Amino acid sequence: MKYQRLVTKMFDIVICTIAKESHEATQLSLKTQRKTIDELSAPVISLKECDIALLPLIGTIDERRAQVSLESTLERCTRMQVKKLYIDLSGTIIVSSVVGHHLSQLIGALKMIGIEPILCGIRVEVARNAIQLGFVFKGIKIKSSLSQAITIY
C-alpha cells in the first residue's frame, strides 16, 4: 500500500510537470503566432523609391488590430522614411466607432510626423458607416481606388 501511494504520487508529479510544460510551450507558441499575425496585420509595403508606401488593410478590423496597426504603421513608416502613405481600405469593413477613431488617429499621427496619408478604395458600406459615426476625413486626399491614387503620383 505504501508503494502504491508513492507510485501514485510520482505519477501525479510527472503528469503535473508534463501539463505545466505543455501549457508553457503552447503559450509561447501562441505568443509567437500573435506577433506574426500582428506584423502581417498592417504591412507597410514600399512602392516607389522608398518614400512612397502602401498600407493595405484587409479583413475585419477590431479594436486590438486597429491599435496594433496604428503603432506598427507609425514605426515602420518612420524607419522606412516614408513621405506618402496610401491606406487602401478596399479589402476591409470598419465595424465600429472605436476602429474609425483609430484610423482617424493614425491619419492625424502620420500628418504630425510629416507623412501624407491618402485614403483609397473606400467601399460604399464603409463610407456610409463612417459618415453615420461622424468621421469626415477633412484635409486628406481620398481616391476611389488604389490604381487611381497611384497613377496620379
Residue 153 has pLDDT above 60, yes or no: no
pLDDT in tens, 31-79: 888 777 766 666 888 886 668 999 998 887 778 888 888 888 999 999 9
Residue 148, CA atoms < 13 Å, CB-side half-sphere = 12
Mean pLDDT, the chain, integer: 84
- H-only helix segments in 81-123: 97-112
Q: Which residues are bridge partners to 48 per DSSP?
A: 52
Angle at Cα 35 formed by Cα 88 and Cα 26, nearest 5°? 140
Q: What are the domain boundaries of the chain?
A: 1-41, 42-152
- DSSP sequence for 30-90: HHHHHHHHHHHHS--EEEETTTEEEEEEEEEE-HHHHHHHHHHHHHHHHHHT-SEEEEEEE
The C-alpha cell that represents 113 in the structure block: 510626423
Give the residue-averaged pLDDT of 132-141.
80
Ramachandran bin of 142, using left for φ above 0, alpha for ψ from -120 to 50, beta for the remaining angles: beta
Domain spanning 42-152: CATH superfamily: STAS domain (3.30.750.24)
The C-alpha cell that represents 72 in the structure block: 506598427
Q: What is the pLDDT of residue 9?
A: 87
